Amino acid sequence: MSLALQTFSSVKDANAALQAAGTRYLGGGTLVVRAANEGDVSVSSLIRVTEPTLSAISVSGGKVRLGASVTMAAIARHPELATLAPAARAVGGPAIRNMATVGGNLFAPAPYGDFTVALLALDASVAAEAGEMPIETFLAGRDTSRAVVTAVSFSLPKAESFRFLKVSRVKPKGVSVLSIAAHLQFATDGTVTSARIALGCMADRPIRAKAAEEALLGCKLTSEEIAPALAAAAEGISPITDPIASAWYRAEVLPVHLGRLLLG
């Protein structure tokens, strides 16, 4: 079956074209082109946009804006995004990272979406032509989305307040058993004053560990004090089963790796 490719210079025109049946947006193509090559006949036409803002990274006044076409490789090598580099480097190998975009990662089903786990912990906003929305709202409705995502924005975390971990069986570029991102703020005595924890592979898309977040408040990061948070981490999860790991295994190892992330 043939696959048409249409290129637009504006997001507005691309959004209009995206309403046609069988039409999908083309980011780096690592998932959508692979699916077409493997015989996914639901896609008959791909749309791309050449608007330069989609590929721009801006870091100013502690705020970050990543255009949706920014690649994982570009994030990993950006001098002001060192805190986020581990999450960008967690996506595939070098060839994948050169193509994989921020926009595509937002739509990637588990076990993919490692960078989106980091964005969820950072409470990013997702922008489209119609406006911005919190990433949690975007993720909940992404299956029915028919609009080009243009950018994500978030406050740049301090190095000591942001942690990311991807667990895979094949190092360094295997698919996730799970991934975890935590954005933590501390009082001067080391007590946690705010916690936002995001999990990958614990549902079909990244989710927050809200019970664990709550249990961490007022704790110091010691084995004893984080124990209730580790026990609460399984609340609300529905891990995926795939050739890498079963849902049971993922649920069993989640508290172990969350503990390592918090204590490490």
Residues that bind ligand FAD (CB under 6 A): 24-32, 34, 68, 91-92, 96, 99-101, 103-105, 107-108, 112-115, 148-149, 175
- Which of residues 55 and 191 has its CB atom nearest to ligand FAD in the complex? 55
- Which of residues 92 and 239 has its CB atom nearest to ligand FAD in the complex? 92
Least Å from the CB of residue 23 to ligand FAD: 9
Cβ-based neighbours of 73, under 8 Å, separated by 6 or more:
88, 94, 97, 98
Q: Which residue number places its CB atom closest to ligand FAD?
A: 104
- Which of residues 61 and 130 has its CB atom nearest to ligand FAD in the complex? 130
- Which of residues 34 and 63 has its CB atom nearest to ligand FAD in the complex? 34
Least Å from the CB of residue 146 to ligand FAD: 9
Least Å from the CB of residue 155 to ligand FAD: 22
Torsion of CA 112, 77, 56, 62, to 10 degrees: 100
- Which of residues 104 and 255 has its CB atom nearest to ligand FAD in the complex? 104
- Which of residues 19 and 188 has its CB atom nearest to ligand FAD in the complex? 19
Least Å from the CB of residue 135 to ligand FAD: 14
- Which of residues 149 and 226 has its CB atom nearest to ligand FAD in the complex? 149
Least Å from the CB of residue 123 to ligand FAD: 19
Least Å from the CB of residue 72 to ligand FAD: 6
Least Å from the CB of residue 52 to ligand FAD: 14
The secondary structure of the chain, three-state, reads CCCEEEEECCHHHHHHHHCCCCEEECCCCCCHHHHHHCCCCCCCEEEEECCHHHHCEEEECCEEEEECCCEHHHHHHCHHHCCCHHHHHCCCCHHHHHHCEHHHHHHCCCCCCHHHHHHHHCCCEEEECCEEEEHHHHHHHHHHCCCCEEEEEEECCCHHHEEEEEEECCCCCCCEEEEEEEEEEECCCCEEEEEEEEEECCCCCCEECHHHHHHHCCCECCHHHHHHHHHHCCCCCCCCCCCCCCHHHHHHHHHHHHHHHHHC
